[in-house]
Every structure is written in structure tokens, then in C-alpha cells.
Amino acid sequence: MSIYGCINVTKILFTGIDITLKIFILTLMFSIPLGILVAILRNSKCKIISNIIKLYILIIRGTPIMLQIIFVYFSPYYLLGITYDRFVAIIVAFVLNYVAYFSEIFRSGINSIPKGQMEAAYTLGFNKIQTFLIIILPQVIKIILPSMSNEVISLLKSTSLAQIIGVTEMFALAQKQASYNFSVIPLCIAGVYYLILVFVVSILFNKLEKKLEYYE
């Protein structure tokens, strides 16, 4: 490819970053709070609720995300004759997947906090919600940051799977440009874009970790 061709491909792939980031951000917006909720339900003393959550996590962690994406998009059509937007389907599939993984990370963090802290908070007049949000959650976030950063970076790279059901994000554009130009350079450019995005996410996590150092 010529220099002009590389510049042109770089511009084309940049337009696909918009969809990639939308998938990434929307998935995080929904899956993190839902992951906390599922982690709490997983620790529920009610066996029915706890077992349902266990089954959900087992199914999600035990099946490929590609299969989950296909199931989420096509099953409503085959079961109910309903079709819906591909972008919505990919968000639903990613949220269902990452809620399961995030919930286990949050659960391990919650279980690592000494129960004495909760009892002390109750003695000071905090209710359960206040205790969790003000005392427990900040410590949990500090503990789980390394694991969360790995999953978030994995999510960023996994957005390329959106093309399975025809959602055109950055990597899908790179593949089209590679076929059109008979060159792997578009794929390499896409790799550079992913590397930059991962670098930015890593910096954000490092800054967050430094802000939470006062819990040490």
C-alpha cells in the first residue's frame, strides 16, 4: 500500500472507533452496577436466589461469548418471531457476559472484607446501604482493581466480536479494507488503535489505584 492509501485507511478505521467505544462504554455502564447486584444476590442466604445466580454464572462462564451473541440475537426470532436492532443485541450479549465475570470479582472482594467492619458501622448508626456504599465498596474497589482492569481490557478487545451479527465496528472495517487492498496493513493499523485504547484504559486504572492508596 502507498503512504496515501495508509493514511486513507487510518481515517476510515478511525470512524469505526465510535462504534467500538459505544459498545465498550455502554457495556461497562450496565455491567458494573449489575455485577455488584448479582454479587450481593450470589451471597444471599436464600438458597433459591443463590442457586439461580450460580446457574446463570455457570452457563455464561461455561459457553463461548460468540455463542452467547448469536443466541441473544437470533433466539427471539426463532422462538417468538421477533427481530430487533443488532447493536442492541450486541450490548445485551456483552452485558450478560460481563455481569457474570464482574459479579465474581466483586463477590471475592466483598468476602475479603472483615465482618467486624460492618458490625462497627452498624454500631455507629449506619444502615446496610450506607455501610456498603461508604465503607465496604471503596475498599472492595481497591482490592479488585487489578482483576477489573484485566476484564475491562478484555472487553475492549472483545468488541471486535460484534461483527459476528453484522455490527460494523473498527475491526470489521479493518477486515474489509484488508480484503479490498489485498494487504494486512489495515489490520496492523487496527492493532495500533487497540493498543492506544488499552494504554489509555491502563493509565486510568493506574490513576484510580493511586487515588485509593489511602485505604492501605
pLDDT means over runs of 10, the chain (216 residues): 69 84 94 92 88 93 93 88 87 95 90 76 73 78 86 92 85 81 82 91 87 62
Whole-number Å distance between alpha carbons of 61 and 104: 11
Q: What is the pLDDT of residue 11?
A: 79
CA geometry: angle at 96 spanning 166 and 48, to 5°?
Answer: 150
Q: What is the pLDDT of residue 44?
A: 84
Q: What is the pLDDT of residue 214?
A: 56
DSSP 164: G
Whole-number Å distance between alpha carbons of 23 and 179: 25
Q: What is the pLDDT of residue 13?
A: 81
Size of the chain, expressed as the number of residues it contains = 216
Q: What is the pLDDT of residue 58?
A: 94
Whole-number Å distance between alpha carbons of 109 and 202: 20
| Sign of the CA dihedral running 58, 63, 68, 74 | negative
Closest Cα to residue 133, out of 116, 100, 151, 110?
110
Domains of the chain: 3-215 (1.10.3720.10)
CB 159, CB 169: distance < 8 Å:
yes
Q: What is the pLDDT of residue 61?
A: 92
Whole-number Å distance between alpha carbons of 109 and 91: 26
Q: What is the pLDDT of residue 143?
A: 83
Q: What is the pLDDT of residue 216?
A: 52
Q: What is the pLDDT of residue 7?
A: 73
Q: What is the pTM of this model?
A: 0.88
